Amino acid sequence: MVIDRRNFLLAGAGLGAIAAFGFWRPMGAVEAAEGDFPYKLSDDEWKAKLTPEAYDVLRHEGTERPFTSPLNDEHRAGTFACAGCDTPLFASETKFDSGTGWPSFYTFIEGGIGNSVDDSLFMTRTEVHCSNCGGHQGHVFEDGPQPTGLRYCINGVALKFLAA
């Protein structure tokens, strides 16, 4: 096959279509963590309670755009709680700037977080969710600071900050 402009553009368009199809996630395609969680609302109640962005993240495992959350710049003493059910998840003293564009923490408040395996996007990751309502928070990675070496990379719309 001769690589001319036409073939190059056709190949690029084909790869773009495959990538878009492979990464596209229709609303409702993925639900919040499965399980029997203490805090329960109907889907209509979740929609009424949350902003559209928070609903997508918490109930359908969406991801907010990086560097868009005001919580990236939140440095006061306090607690970061689940935006869905107010469960305390992260203490402010465990927050650090990971440079990723999402609020990051090196550990969580005991009992606040659960996890599950996430095999989407052609990789295996550890998804973290609120242990009270099952709302998707983000993912945990093993590239964080000491003392844990973990980085809980959390969607800002999935959190609310409660000042001390």
What is the set of active-site residues? 153
What residue type is 106 in one-letter code? Answer: Y
What residue type is 36 in one-letter code? Answer: D
Helices (H) and strands (E) in the chain, counts: 3, 9
For CA atoms 143, 145, 147, 150, give the dihedral sign.
Answer: negative
Locate 107 and state its tokens. Answer: 């550990």
Instruction: Measure Cα distances from 115 to 27, 81, 111 in Å.
Output: 22, 16, 11
Contact 9, 112 (CB under 8 A): no
Lookup result for tokens 């755009």? 65
Rounded to the nearest 5 degrees, what angle is found at the Cα of 46, between the Cα atoms of 41 and 50? Answer: 140
